[in-house]
Chain A
Amino acid sequence: MFKLFTGLQWKSFFRSSTFGKSLGIKILMGFFGVMMLFYLAAAGGGMYFILKKIFPNQSPMWTISQYFIYWILIELLLRYFMQKLPVMDIKPFLTTPVKKSAIAHYILGRSGVSIYNLLALFFFVPFAIVLLFHGYPALNVLLWIVAVFAIVLCVNYINLLINKNDKALITIGSLIVIGYALDYFQVFDVKVFFAPMFHALYAYPLAALVPVGFAALIYYINYKYLRTKIYLDATLKPKTVKANTSDMAWAKKFGEMGPFLQLDLKMIWRNKRTKSQVFISLLFVFYGLIFYTQDIYSDMIPMKVFLGVFMTGIFLSNFGQFIPAWDSSYYSMMMSQNIPLRKYLESKATLISVSVVVMFLLTIPYLYFGWEALAINFACALYNLGVNIPVILFFGSFNKKRIELDQSPFGNMQGTSATQFLIMLPVLIAPIVLFSIFYYAISFEAAIIVLSVLGVIGFALKNYLLNLVTEQYRKKKYGMIAGFKEKAS
């Protein structure tokens, strides 16, 4: 039975539409995946030496035991977002002569070997190997690895029990914050309190039985729970979110553009992928800190231009590059409705403009690193507003790949094609090259002025440029409609 299920799983993986993607994207994704595993393994292998250096008087095993509790909590938190119970695929089996207990075991077993569980091993196994080379007793280390894997499984199955419960998320989140705060302000040493418990897993080999037993127990609870829930109307039904209606009357002020602006805002807010784009964009405000805080980059002005364009334009590129594919699932309606295409595009342009201004305002604190930083960000924001917005809208007309809005944003490459990589060239590289030329040929001030003036000119010609873009969308209309209809991409 299990073999049959596994065979199906295999097929669903290799025949999935994601797998049928263009070769380039496959290679790229594979490359990133391997890189990540490599980094994890390298971090695991190097951890012994790092810990030894930071805490020379402590055994690295002891140090790592101190942080175990945080690792578990953080992993629970991450999994809450990334992992879900794979129950939807079993619908076809409900009416076939397969025992429900077999189905339940299959679902649970399958999540036991999920990639998330293996990630931890990629870190801990190299760490353990280094330990062995440093004369740690083999038996203890081996059983410790077993215990770690059991803990990973515990986390895995606890997550399934939690199953997207917001209260649990808040509890875990606050536990992490409170624990860290207690530690930080030295009210109560959480790390020291938990360290002996986790260190025991290594010190007393038989202690490994505790997490193993615990994992088995949680598995059993999960099984009991799931076994009674394999019905269409219980677990298998995808949760429907309660709709919150909002009429956003203020958008009426924008006249003909109002309805589209409303629609765009609702789209961004009510769909996972677009919503996460917003949060990711906001986080990128801190991206510059990585470079501004390091002395090596202090003289690399072109690098700072890259940061300026990137930070103020992160939403522009993240959201803009997929226009109009965001609307792909109802694009034929849009095209047969009484819609002024121009207003539709203008609404998108306005939305992106607002994002550029907001991102610029958020980057003002970079003033701390000198007035040049602010000047660069300002010029880049102007350039983004005037030049990059029409550019990205123009290239959007080459988008022909459908995006399913309600699918998970993580690692979702839907809608991605060679166009996306081509778009990034003019948007990112052109301003850097322009700036560098004027910077090295004349002066910093001249380069700033050139970027700003280009932005202002673009902004002044906005109407003309948008007309050109609109014309382009008209021409490409049929191709887009046909492309957006193709589901598997």
Chain B
Amino acid sequence: MIITEKLTKKYGKQTVLSIEHLEIPKGQSFGLVGNNGAGKTTFFSLLLDLIQPSSGHITSNGVQVNTSEEWKPFTSSFIDESFLIGYLTPEEYFYFIGDLRGANKADVNALLAQFQDFFHGEILGQKKYLRDLSKGNQKKAGIVASFIGNPEVVILDEPFANLDPTTQIRLKGIIKDLAAKDNVTVLVSSHDLIHVTEVCERIVVLNKGEVVKDIQTSTETLKELEAFFAG
């Protein structure tokens, strides 16, 4: 599904990302872990064609992302708060995203209804603009917005950060459900090793821009990761 070939990203002389070959099959739930500056967000930004690769390329579903825009209809993402439009209410934002992704109001409402628990009554019907919501609630809105319009690739950067424990647990359930669907590929990055090992079938560790571990998740995985990061 997503194939990365000889991808590098350099700023001046500093190489921030260098991936020789990485293949993520369709339907996989894929976790990306690494310390600050390991290149996680850089990789996601390249995947979304927000920055240009210095060399190499990524193809998603056969579409090379930096030359064609055909990947946009089946890809959705939430990277950070800059993906939200501050002067809209959450509802308006969801409908706007729906408009862009070919989901009408009824579709969006049906989807939102599944996330009542997740929202915990703090998002919908609050008469507040997104810019006035707390960081955690903004994040919830952004994450759910990325599920609108039946995307085949969902990219979430640090989805667990800033969320309260209840919401973290619910989010894990949501991501697992999503990943259980055959045709949806979920890419998640996180600093929290426990969450990632619970949610993802496969975990890739980035260190200083390079892939240093590529693990199929098992009962041993958490220990292995902890050993790596402790060292």
Answer yes or no: are A and B bound together in one complex: yes
List A residues at the B interface (Cβ < 8 Å).
240-245, 247, 258-259, 262-263, 266-267, 270-271, 329-333, 335-339, 405-406, 478, 481-482, 485
- A331 neighbours in B (Cβ, 8 Å): 82
List B residues at the A interface (Cβ < 8 Å).
48-52, 72-73, 75-77, 79, 82-89, 91-92, 95-97, 99-102, 126-129, 131-132, 149
- Pairwise interchain contact B101-A338, C-beta atoms closer than 8 A: yes
Least CB distance, A347 to chain B, in whole angstroms: 12
The residue of chain A having its C-beta at the shortest distance from the C-beta of B78 within the complex is A333
Known: A243-B128, A330-B82. A259 touches B100 (CB 8 A): yes
Least CB distance, A248 to chain B, in whole angstroms: 10
A232–B23 alpha-carbon span in the complex (Å):
50
- Pairwise interchain contact A266-B92, C-beta atoms closer than 8 A: yes
A sample of 14 more A-B contacts (CB under 8 A), given A241-B129, A263-B96, A338-B73, is A241-B132, A243-B128, A243-B129, A245-B92, A258-B99, A262-B96, A263-B85, A266-B87, A332-B79, A332-B82, A333-B82, A336-B77, A337-B72, A405-B86
Out of B52, B86, B97, B127, name the residue touching A337 (CB < 8 Å): B97
Query: Which 3 A-B pairs give the minimum distances between C-beta atoms?
Result: A259-B99, A333-B83, A336-B48
The residue of chain B having its C-beta at the shortest distance from the C-beta of A258 within the complex is B99
The residue of chain B having its C-beta at the shortest distance from the C-beta of A337 within the complex is B100
- Pairwise interchain contact B84-A330, C-beta atoms closer than 8 A: yes
Known: A240-B132, A333-B82, A339-B72. A405 touches B87 (CB 8 A): yes
- Pairwise interchain contact B50-A267, C-beta atoms closer than 8 A: no
- Pairwise interchain contact A245-B91, C-beta atoms closer than 8 A: yes
A sample of 25 inter-chain contacts (CB < 8 A) reads A243-B126, A243-B128, A247-B95, A259-B96, A259-B100, A270-B87, A329-B82, A330-B83, A330-B84, A330-B85, A332-B79, A332-B82, A332-B83, A335-B49, A336-B50, A336-B77, A336-B79, A336-B83, A338-B149, A339-B72, A339-B100, A405-B86, A406-B86, A478-B52, A482-B51
- A337 neighbours in B (Cβ, 8 Å): 72, 76, 97, 100-101
Out of A259, A333, A481, name the residue touching B84 (CB < 8 Å): A333
- B83 neighbours in A (Cβ, 8 Å): 330, 332-333, 336
- Interface majority SS (helix, strand, loop, mixed), chain A: helix
- A338 neighbours in B (Cβ, 8 Å): 72-73, 100-102, 149
The residue of chain A having its C-beta at the shortest distance from the C-beta of B92 within the complex is A245
- B79 neighbours in A (Cβ, 8 Å): 332, 336
- A247 neighbours in B (Cβ, 8 Å): 92, 95
- B132 neighbours in A (Cβ, 8 Å): 240-241, 243
The residue of chain A having its C-beta at the shortest distance from the C-beta of B83 within the complex is A333
The residue of chain B having its C-beta at the shortest distance from the C-beta of A328 within the complex is B82
- A339 neighbours in B (Cβ, 8 Å): 72, 100
Number of interchain pairs (Cβ within 8 Å): 88
A134–B228 alpha-carbon span in the complex (Å):
87
A266–B49 alpha-carbon span in the complex (Å):
28
Out of A333, A406, A481, name the residue touching B131 (CB < 8 Å): A406
Least CB distance, B185 to chain A, in whole angstroms: 16
A265–B83 alpha-carbon span in the complex (Å):
19
- B49 neighbours in A (Cβ, 8 Å): 335-336
The residue of chain A having its C-beta at the shortest distance from the C-beta of B131 within the complex is A406
The residue of chain A having its C-beta at the shortest distance from the C-beta of B65 within the complex is A336
The residue of chain B having its C-beta at the shortest distance from the C-beta of A242 within the complex is B127
A481–B79 alpha-carbon span in the complex (Å):
14
- A336 neighbours in B (Cβ, 8 Å): 48-50, 72, 75, 77, 79, 83
Least CB distance, B101 to chain A, in whole angstroms: 5
Out of A241, A242, A266, A482, name the residue touching B88 (CB < 8 Å): A266
- A330 neighbours in B (Cβ, 8 Å): 82-86
Known: A241-B132, A245-B92. A267 touches B87 (CB 8 A): yes
A271–B85 alpha-carbon span in the complex (Å):
12
- Pairwise interchain contact B72-A245, C-beta atoms closer than 8 A: no
A263–B132 alpha-carbon span in the complex (Å):
18
Least CB distance, A407 to chain B, in whole angstroms: 12
- Among the interface residues B50, B52, B87, B95, which one has the most CB atoms of the partner chain A within 10 A? B87
- A262 neighbours in B (Cβ, 8 Å): 96
- Pairwise interchain contact A271-B100, C-beta atoms closer than 8 A: no
Out of B82, B100, B102, name the residue touching A485 (CB < 8 Å): B82
- B72 neighbours in A (Cβ, 8 Å): 336-339
- B51 neighbours in A (Cβ, 8 Å): 478, 481-482
A259–B104 alpha-carbon span in the complex (Å):
12
- Pairwise interchain contact B50-A332, C-beta atoms closer than 8 A: yes
- Among the interface residues B85, B97, B127, which one has the most CB atoms of the partner chain A within 10 A? B85
A36–B99 alpha-carbon span in the complex (Å):
48
A270–B84 alpha-carbon span in the complex (Å):
15
- A271 neighbours in B (Cβ, 8 Å): 87
A338–B50 alpha-carbon span in the complex (Å):
13
- A405 neighbours in B (Cβ, 8 Å): 86-87
- A485 neighbours in B (Cβ, 8 Å): 82
- Among the interface residues A262, A338, A478, which one has the most CB atoms of the partner chain B within 10 A? A338
A332–B86 alpha-carbon span in the complex (Å):
14
Least CB distance, B192 to chain A, in whole angstroms: 24
- Among the interface residues B97, B131, B149, which one has the most CB atoms of the partner chain A within 10 A? B131
- A259 neighbours in B (Cβ, 8 Å): 96, 99-100
- B131 neighbours in A (Cβ, 8 Å): 406
Least CB distance, A172 to chain B, in whole angstroms: 28
- B96 neighbours in A (Cβ, 8 Å): 259, 262-263
Least CB distance, B23 to chain A, in whole angstroms: 22
Least CB distance, B155 to chain A, in whole angstroms: 9
Least CB distance, B164 to chain A, in whole angstroms: 20
